[in-house]
Structure 1
C-alpha cells in the first residue's frame, strides 16, 4: 500500500555535512583502499553504487540546511553520528528535539574506547553505539574478541549497537561483516539490542532467519534506495517481522531525501507495517 503522509518519520541514519567536501567522513579506513579509481576519482568510497550523490552546495549553515531537508519530507527526528565537535554540539543545543545520536566506535581502542563511550554517554545521552567492522583499522569481525567488551558495555548501559553487515560498499574485504557472525553475539548477549545496517546482502535470507531466532536482532534499511530493498526483507516485514524492520536512509552520504521518499511510494508494505517501519520501531528500539 502507498506510504502514508501523516506519520512523523524517524530516520535512523542521517548525516550533517560540515562542508561540501566530505572526504573526512571516510578518512579512518582510507588506508585499506588500494584501487586507483576509488583513491583518485570517488568523492565517497562506494560511489560506483550510487547515482546522483547529493550536493549541498556552499551553505552558510549546513545544520539549518539539513533540518530544512528533513522538514521538506516530514522527517521529524534523525539518528546521526556524534563527532564530539562543534556541529554535533550545535545540533544537540539548537535542535535537541530533532536529533538523537549514536557514537561511531573502533573496537581497536580497547578499554579507552569503553571509557570514551561512557564519558560521552554521560555528557550527551547517547541512543546507540555504532561500528563499521570492515572499516576498522585493522579490521575487526562482528564476533571477534575485541568486540565483546563493547557489547558488554552497551548491554550494561542499555544502548543498542548498530553494526554494518553484508558485503561492504567500499572496495575493502568483507569477511568481518558476514551475517553468520551475529549468531554468536546474539547468543552470548541475549539482552543486547543489535541493529543490522547496510543491507546484509547477499545473506539477507540468513538475516531474516536470525531475526526469527533472536528477539533483540533488528534490521535497518540504511544505504539502500527503497526500490532496492531486498525482497526477503519486505516479505518478512509484511508477515512475521513488522516489529523488526526500521527505516534508515543515507542522506547526504549517498542518497537525497527527494530520491528516498520518491522511491518509498512504491514499496509494497502492508498498511499496518508503515507506522512501525517509519516510526514506532525506532521509538521502541532506541527508547525515544
Structure 2
C-alpha cells in the first residue's frame, strides 16, 4: 500500500514495457529504439517492473503502471495483465497496477476486466486508440466500459500525437486520427460515472481536450509524454485555474524519467497552492487513496 506521507509525487503514467524482460522480438525492438530516439531516452534496454519499482522507490515517487494490449492491430505480443499485476504486487509500496484490454475483445474483454479488478486489484485500464486502431466512441468498446464503470475503475486514454512510430516509415502504421480527445466527449456523456483520464498534452487538439475536461466533471488530464518546457500556455493556464483539481503529474516512463519531468515542472509558473494538487493530491483522490485531500477541502 502506498504511504502518501513518504512519497513526494504520484506519476499517473508509466509503462510496463518488459514485465519479464524476455519477450520474443516481433518488431517491438525496432519500435522501442525509434521511440527512445524520439524521446532522447538514456536507457540501454527497457526496464523491467522490478527495475522500475527500484527507480521510483529511490525517487520517493509512486506510479501507476500498465501494459498496452495492441496485439490485434500491431502484431506485438500481448503481455498477460495478470503477469503485470502480480509483478506490481511485489512492489505495492510504489506501484499501482492498471491493465490493458483491446476493446475488440468484446464481452470476453469485459469479463476479463471484471475479474482483474475483483481478483487482482487492478485500479484502471489503459487505452491507446492509435495503437489499438479504434475510435474511443465506437460502440464496440462499450461492453468493456460498462464493466469498468460498474466496478468503479478508471479509464486512461492516450490522446494527441504519439511518439509511437514517430520517424518510422509510414509512422509504423500508426493513425493519429483515432486519438482526437473530442471522441471521448461521447464516452463521458454515455458513462458519466466512469472516471476518464485524457493522457498527455493533446497536440494538435489541446483546446478540445480542455473543453471536454472543463465541461465533463468525470474527465481528468495527465501531463505525461511531454517535457514541461513544451506545454502550451493555455494548458498551463487551465492547470493553474479552472482544472487545478483534475490535472495529474505523469512522466511516460521509461521514455521520460520522472525526475527529469519534475525538474522542468519546477520551472513553470504554477501557483504554490496548485503544485501539490498536480503532483500528488489529485491523483491520490482519483485513485481512492484518500477520500478527500486537503486541497479538495480548500476548494470546497
TM range (shorter): 0.7 to 0.9
How far is 1:42 from its partner?
4.8
TM-score by length of 2: 0.79
1:141, 1:231 → 2: CA distance? 28
Higher RCO (C-alpha 8 Å, min separation 6): 1
Paired position in structure 2 for 1:33:
none
Which residue of 150, 168, 177 maps to 2:179? Answer: 177
Q: Is the 8 A contact 1:7 1:275 kept in 2?
A: no
Aligned pair count reads 263
2:31, 2:87 → 1: CA distance? 29
Paired position in structure 2 for 1:43:
32
Taking the TM superposition and a 5 Å limit, the aligned residue runs for 1:205-224 are 205-224=207-226
Paired position in structure 2 for 1:193:
195
Paired position in structure 2 for 1:233:
235
CA RMSD of aligned residues (A): 2.6
Q: Does 1:134 align with 2:130?
A: yes
TM-score by length of 1: 0.82
Which residue of 139, 151, 154 maps to 1:145? Answer: 139
Paired position in structure 1 for 2:120:
124
Paired position in structure 2 for 1:66:
52
Taking the TM superposition and a 5 Å limit, the aligned residue runs for 1:15-164 are 15-16=15-16, 17-18=18-19, 42-47=31-36, 49-51=38-40, 53-55=41-43, 62-75=48-61, 77-81=62-66, 83-84=80-81, 86=83, 88-92=85-89, 94-136=90-132, 139-164=133-158
Structure 2, unaligned runs of 5 or more: 1-5, 68-79, 166-170, 290-300
How far is 1:45 from its partner?
4.8
2:106, 2:266 → 1: CA distance? 44
- Give the secondary structure class of the aligned counterpart of 1:140: coil
Q: Is the 8 A contact 1:14 1:249 kept in 2?
A: yes
How far is 1:279 from its partner?
0.8
Give per-residue Cα distances to partners, 1:136-163, cap 9 Å, x unaligned.
1xx1101111121222211111111001
1:185, 1:281 → 2: CA distance? 22
